[in-house]
Structure 1
Amino acid sequence: MEIVVILVVIGVVLGVGLALVAPRLRSRGPELEPPARPSVGQGTAVEEGPEVDGGDVDVLEPPVEEAPPEVVAPVRPSFRERLSKARGTVSGYLGSILSRSAIDDETWDDLEEALIRADVGVGPATEVLDAVRARVKADGIESPEVLLEAVKDEVKARLHVDDRTLHSDEGETNVWLFVGVNGVGKTTTIGKLGKREAEVGRTVVMAAGDTFRAAAAEQLGTWAERCGATLVRGAEGADPSSIVFDGITKAASMGADLLLADTAGRLHNKTNLMDELRKVRRVAGKEPGHVTEVLLVIDATTGQNGLAQARVFTEAVEVTGVVLTKLDGSAKGGIVLAIQADLGIPVKLVGLGETADDLVAFDPDEFVDALFATD
């Protein structure tokens, strides 16, 4: 009997205890439940590790160290891409030639018209076609396709020169003079060329010798800042020769490699202004100056007028090379052949766009292939 009483008491005690604990367990609910884990075999990797209560803690990711920007070399512009306007002038005639099955009189007429339209000039065009006629006869050429290749070969041969480089002598205060009429892009050409020379490690000084155009010195100053060049300038209307000489003196004192000298771009038919340019050339050649280039800048869009400018400037200052600007915007690219045929002056640089990297060395083969491209 005593045993029964003891069991009853124990049962009551356990019942009371469970009654007190159960509500607490139900109130806590999911907090005691472990986070669900994927079952084995479901293809999900399980990473064991301590569980962390996220709460409202801000998680600070370590800063991502950005790699320095990659230096990308400028892409040289393509003659084929940039000469679309010039090519458009002759493409119709070339297409007409290729549509024929043989070479006839109309073929020669179309060739002549194409060359003249491209502003090669009547004289040079006639000389080219006379030479090609002789080759057609000698080689027995009958195909229009082969005829066009013969024309391209002849033009390339006439554009060939042994040296188109820009000259400078080691250890000298090299002076490059830039001449040309207003509006052709002299000052911009100086800035672009100065940037290119500075990028290959040369020390550059620029002389603002165009003292008659109010914005010329400011424009050149902007370019000087871009390429880290030293600018020498004077008052508006000052003697250009004195500015150029001051530039030479500064370049020599610095041990600079190169002085790029701007000059006034007055009209080429003014005799007194040509005399002024001759004076600048004489002064630039005095010690310590050493003139290695006199570059005539011509706007390609002016066509045969550019050839007239070249004649006068060459007589005044002995031009050593031509810079042909805005070739990408001109339908008159044949002026390259006209200049070289008439004056024997090589085109050394051409402008194929607006940026500094669009001023490039002239490549006659690439130029001719682009001009006569038919696809």
Structure 2
Amino acid sequence: MIVGILKEIKTEENRVSMTPAGVEILVKNGHRVLVEPGAGAGSEFDDARYEQAGAVMVAGPAEVYRQAEMVLHVKEPQPAEYGMIRPGQVLFTYFHFAASEELTRAMMVSRAVCIAYETLTDQSGGLPLLTPMSEIAGRMAAQEAARYLERSQGGRGILMGGVPGVAPARVLILGGGVVGTEAARIACGLGATVHLLDTSLPRLRHLAEVLPGNCTLLMSSPAAIRELAGQVDAVIGAVLLPGAKAPKLITRELLATMKQRAVVVDVAIDQGGCCETSRPTTHSRPVFEVDGILHYCVANMPGAVPLTSTLALTNATLPYVLALADKGWQRAAQDDPGIGRGVNMVDGRIACQGVAEAFDLPFTLLAALETSGHGP
């Protein structure tokens, strides 16, 4: 198969979808890999390393889309790319369709095969391609909360861990998945008083065994969120409904009860955010203020640490890229139902129920699409 690797053009995105080491493995498995010049520059992988790995450098994104049967991305295709995408072409990336009706409808028009990293599952039902980036985003969330609690950054002027004789910051974490767990691990390590809420008792029992004693684990409910929101210095939104929009757990009304210059770090922003007042921000302008509350809503948090992120992403995606390249998407999805759950769209029809429900669009079972899709 001809596999294309693009330079990311989303604002301040420095990751790349495949390292030279990953390219070498693809080439040794008989695949042709096209790389856009400069694709790896943000992660300190120069063109020469890709060429040494066996890649072919091509003129630009239009040429990658023209030749490649499967195109790899980190973030979703941007508007400038929509017209380059061909019917039946496989796109493998983080799509987060439920957060953008424009993107959803554009990919429907393209009639591409859209396979989303964030909904692909492993044998245990986990999200293996979301996990490494969630680990990074969770750890960063606690760091960013600590940073923006500083008065020089607009925050309350509180040291996350306090000092002897002075209480530490109080942090509310919404969601006990990978993001929430990693955020709690770092916030607790910094010495904060952490309250983590989740709706799963088994998950809370597990976290009670692995998180330190300065993390209080509570069953999530609107009442619990209301009670704690006004008491804490920072809120980290870490809720996830795979393929669907994030629930709005922090309403505008609830925001008004929070301490002035408190911080909201909304890691769920890729799925629309779990705070009603959230909107996507960038690394160069990461925060904004609503009702005296700082909002950090960077939609590509791991892009700030691309050396770590690109290596972690390739470690996770390479086995699935190989399966898709070796077998074609239909056979790969039939052999591995987890890959099938990553297929969000085929030939303009939606195969992910959460995406269909987000925009009141028709939903089609994947089995009905596997014989109708174009491409290898």
TM-score (norm 2): 0.33
Greater percentage in strand: 2
Structure number with greater Rg is: 1
